[in-house]
Structure 1
Amino acid sequence: MTGHQGRSPRTDRADGVEDVTLLILEWLGEQGVNAMIRVDAERAADNAPAWTFAANGGPLEHGMRADGRTVEQCMSIALSQLRKAGLSVPF
């Protein structure tokens, strides 16, 4: 990587789902669920939802996918789908 790239830490914001995304992924792995989150630069350039969450396996009967314009939107949708599928995500 080439360094800072204009990003700054968000220490003054209220904690949101984006702050616990890695903890959610780790917890899902402990439950036997394969999960990932990714950003697609081409979709972002086209002003399309660039963030994707995908999960399958473990207690999930079917694979699932959630897309959003921000990581917060994507993970909020994903958490809702996971809870509807019967996973009580503790975050």
Structure 2
Amino acid sequence: MTRKQGRWPKIDQDGGIEDVTLLILEWLGEQGVNAMIRVDAERVADNAPAWTFAASGGPLKHGMRTDGSAMQQCMSAALARLREAGLSVPF
């Protein structure tokens, strides 16, 4: 991972969270947070919330997980929880 400053592209304000999810994951990694988002094919087949975001380490006192039926729903909930935990995610 590079340590360049000011490399974040301008975000299309009309786009959704899906446009910045990888940037969020990269930013979290730079803060020392281990993070991932995944989709579970078995849960898709069962019509269950198939998307999961998980994070731990760095400034997070406890690990966290959010689930959602759509990636946007999952990441929106994850951002809210990250902010509640004191991380000012810049996206």
List runs of 5+ in structure 1 lacking aligned partners.
Answer: 1-13
- Unaligned runs of 5+ residues in structure 2 are 1-13
2:59 alignment partner in structure 1: 59
Deviation by residue 1:3-55 (Cα, 9 ceiling, x = unmatched): xxxxxxxxxxx301111000000000000000000000100110000000000
Corresponding residue pairs, total: 78
CA deviations on 1:28-83 (whole Å, 9 max, x unpaired) are: 00000000000001001100000000000000000000000000000000000000
Question: Scaled by the length of structure 2, what TM-score is found?
Answer: 0.85
**TM-score, reference length from structure 1:** 0.85
Aligned to 2:68: 68
Counterpart code for 1:19: D
**CA–CA distance in 1 between the matches of 2:56 and 2:68?**
19
Aligned counterparts, 1:73-88, within 5 A: 73-88=73-88
User: How far, CA to CA, are the matches of 1:22 and 1:46 in structure 2?
Assistant: 27
Please report the RMSD computed on the Cα atoms of aligned residues, expressed in angstroms.
0.5
SS of the aligned residue for 2:26 comes to helix
SS at structure 2 position matched to 1:28: helix
Amino acid at match of 1:68: G
Indicate the residue corresponding to 1:15 in structure 2: 15
Q: Which runs of 4+ in 1 moved over 3 A?
A: none
Could you tell me how far apart the structure 1 residues matched to 2:75 and 2:18 are? Answer: 7
> Match of 2:88, as an amino acid?
S
**1: CA distance between counterparts of 2:15 and 2:80?**
18
Aligned-pair identity (%): 81
Which secondary structure state, in structure 1, belongs to the residue aligned with residue 79 of structure 2? helix
